[in-house]
Amino acid sequence: MKITDIRLGMLRVPLKTAFKTALRTVNSTEDVVIIVETDSGNTGYGAAPATAVITGDIHGSIIEAIRTVIKPRLLGQDIADLNHIIRLIQGSIMKNYSAKAAVEMAVYDLFAQLYKAPLYKILGGGVPKITTDLTISVDYIDKMVADSLSAIDRGFETLKVKVGKDIGVDIERVKAIYAAVEGKALIRLDANQGWTAKEAVYALHKLEDAGVRLELVEQPVKAYDLEGLKYITERVHTPVMADESSFGPREVIELIKMRAADIINIKLMKTGGIANAIKIADICSFYDMQCMIGCMLEGSISVAAAVHVAVAKSDVITKIDLDGPSLCAFDPVTSSVSFNDADITIADAPGLGITAIEGLEMLA
């Protein structure tokens, strides 16, 4: 099975409601979709959103990195040589993790198709059913409480509450949501780098003292501020998770050595794809550290790839934040992964099992 062509398209899907974090506000998912064709007639799919504020990637850079750098190296490659192709992708260009992730997942899709098995089985097997949280965007307190209650009505049992704005209002936001959902849902916070280390310790102590039980707090401080992350981890009971501070295996090893965080958030758009995501899961497993698998604001093609990884690495990936498709108004993709609000399941089809994508605009 040899690669004969790589084509690109754009897939845009409106959200149910605006997605608001400390870093940005977005109203739709906009993914670069990659289609890898082979001489056997098999097609592999991948996708990547442009999360400039986190990865530095924009649509133009993703498209150009794939078109001008990665594609020429991959044409003619035999899908059976998976590790060789992964090395070609990862060594083709510095950074550009979203572009690498999109191409790599399409290659993994084809590799699993070669052996006629769902991707998660090729990655090690597991039970093809996981449960995701839902993100509650940072907003007025009443709106966040209403959104949290509506998420519970939809069946979500874990809410990822976005904070990281004004520290005083953030404390009130979390107290109000906790009072409304206590006993009905678990709360995890994501400050998206919005606090200083001292603010984070102050806020978390206030919440802990008020009896607010949080599952974890994600990325309270700036991505580069590993000392700040460590300062918080050493001072609060709430487990601290590194998101923007950990991209690939190197950063994860550094965070573990420093004891700067309790949990790592793995995202394919930060790792540059599946191979590094698996390496991180294995490193964390070795050090008895738990992981979350998360997504950017992205649609169901790339999130499906993360679902396969989550199932295969469920021993160490114990927390799931794969709510991109649940935030969308509809899912234009038909695949073997079904996103039913909190419940995500994989049916028995080869690879990622993608059979149709409605509304895909092909790029010239």
Ligand X SMILES: C[C@H](N)C(=O)N[C@@H](CCC(=O)O)C(=O)O
User: Which amino acids are annotated catalytic?
Assistant: 162, 267
Stretch that binds Mg ion, among 3-11, 149-157, 182-190, 197-205 (CB under 5 A): 182-190
323 is a site residue for Mg ion (CB under 5 A): no
Measured in whole angstroms, the distance separating CA 46 from the mean position of its chain's CA atoms is 14
Minimal distance in Å, beta carbon 242 to Mg ion? 9
Cβ(149)–Cβ(180) under 8 Å?
A: yes
* 144 or 297: CB nearest ligand X: 297
297 is a site residue for ligand X (CB under 6 A): yes
| Distance separating alpha carbons of residues 303 and 33, to the nearest angstrom | 12
160 labelled binding-site residue: yes
Query: Site for Mg ion (CB under 5 A): which residue of 31, 133, 190, 251?
Result: 190
Ranges within 243-302 binding Mg ion (CB under 5 A):
243
* 160 or 230: CB nearest ligand X: 160
* 159 or 312: CB nearest ligand X: 159
* 23 or 146: CB nearest ligand X: 23
Query: Site for ligand X (CB under 6 A): which residue of 113, 158, 192, 314?
Result: 192
- What DSSP element (H or E) covers 362? strand 361-362
190 labelled binding-site residue: yes
132 labelled binding-site residue: no
Minimal distance in Å, beta carbon 198 to Mg ion? 21
For tokens 């056997």, the residue is 40
Minimal distance in Å, beta carbon 261 to ligand X? 14
Reduced DSSP (H G I as helix, E B as strand, rest coil) percent helix, strand, coil of the chain, to 5: 40, 25, 35
| Distance separating alpha carbons of residues 7 and 164, to the nearest angstrom | 39
* 71 or 308: CB nearest ligand X: 308
Joined together, the tokens standing for residue 49 give: 């959103």
| Distance separating alpha carbons of residues 220 and 207, to the nearest angstrom | 14
Q: Which of 47, 49, 60, 56 minimizes the C-alpha distance to 26?
A: 49
Q: Which residue number places its CB atom closest to Mg ion? A: 243
Ranges within 319-338 binding ligand X (CB under 6 A):
321, 323-324
Minimal distance in Å, beta carbon 336 to ligand X? 22
Cβ(66)–Cβ(8) under 8 Å?
A: yes
132 is a site residue for ligand X (CB under 6 A): no
Minimal distance in Å, beta carbon 341 to ligand X? 14
> What are the strands, taking DSSP E only, across 150-284?
158-162, 186-190, 216-218, 240-242, 263-266
Query: Site for ligand X (CB under 6 A): which residue of 38, 43, 51, 55?
Result: 51
CA dist list (Å): 364 to 8, 67, 296: 8, 11, 26
CA dist list (Å): 74 to 80, 92, 129, 345, 347: 13, 10, 33, 31, 29
Contact set with ligand X (CB under 6 A): 21, 23-24, 51, 135, 160, 190, 192, 243, 294-297, 321, 323-324
List binding-site positions for substrate: 24, 135, 160, 295, 297, 321, 323
